[in-house]
Structure 1
């Protein structure tokens, strides 16, 4: 595993970044902030975690690197969000799920610049959040979201647009 933390980034000493046996890279750009009690766990793939300039991840978030997580610039992630860019295989009832490995990637998680993700959200493999989006607290995100949209709920719905 390679960890690249820019000198102006702030990573709490209480952040837990597990070692990767798969070669996952973790990149934290200039001015980014990772708060205490954030967990980074390389699991289920070889994707990298890239946190863009000025982005902030608040306490209690869990980021499984899986098929990759890419946060753009100035992304704000509220407390207790889960990033899960990986899916267990489960189809065979004759084998334990834990022994079936993982499903093919849906592209990881991509979050473009200037996005705000509310508390307690879950982002799934294949999520692409367009520039300037706002995601309401407690939402489950999968698939592509249009730039500057305001989304909330379970199931996720577009409820507005930034002006």
Structure 2
């Protein structure tokens, strides 16, 4: 069952699905969910938790998968994807759809006060420490320390917030 704070601002053009498997979508106080944001409960049993004062810009897509947690005051720019699940593909003997999903790498956890630039992709197992900044177009996985500014392909720490 979804729990959306009455203080959250949700565009009528946003699409927040209800889970048919028991995953929850929780949206905190003063969060803003812009038009054309899609939150889809698929690929696992994880919850999607959008903290207070979070801003999800237009075109953001969140697949619940193994769980997505976005910390307080985080800003997410346009067209960013949170993909907290991975399809299994290693067997040639079965189709990818028959193989279903790989084991969880822990979902996605974004700390408080982060900024994720436009057109980023966060993959299953991503952990962004408090205050991280992710440069536009970056594909992120793995754990990143607090206040790191992450950019590039492959991603690397280009500096730290002062």
Give the structure-2-normalised TM-score.
0.98
Match of 1:138 in 2: 137
Match of 2:9 in 1: 10
Match of 2:87 in 1: 88
The 2-side partners of 1:58 and 1:87 are apart by 24
Match of 2:107 in 1: 108
CA contact 2:2–2:18 (8 Å) conserved in 1:
no
- 1:87 partner SS: coil
Match of 1:159 in 2: 158
| Cα offset, 1:62, TM superposition | 0.8
- 2:2 partner SS: strand
Write the mapping of 1:1-163 to structure 2, written as runs, cut at 5 A.
2-163=1-162
Aligned residues: 162
The 2-side partners of 1:7 and 1:42 are apart by 21
Gapped regions of structure 2 (runs ≥ 5): none
| Cα offset, 1:7, TM superposition | 1.0
Runs of at least 4 residues off by over 2 Å: none
The 1-side partners of 2:127 and 2:18 are apart by 26
Give the structure-1-normalised TM-score.
0.98
Q: Deviations 1:83-130 (Å, cap 9, x if unpaired)?
A: 001001111111110111101100000001000000000000000000
The 1-side partners of 2:100 and 2:40 are apart by 16
| Cα offset, 1:19, TM superposition | 2.6
- 1:98 partner SS: helix
RMSD: 0.6
Gapped regions of structure 1 (runs ≥ 5): none
The 1-side partners of 2:146 and 2:47 are apart by 23
| Cα offset, 1:18, TM superposition | 2.1
The 2-side partners of 1:109 and 1:119 are apart by 18
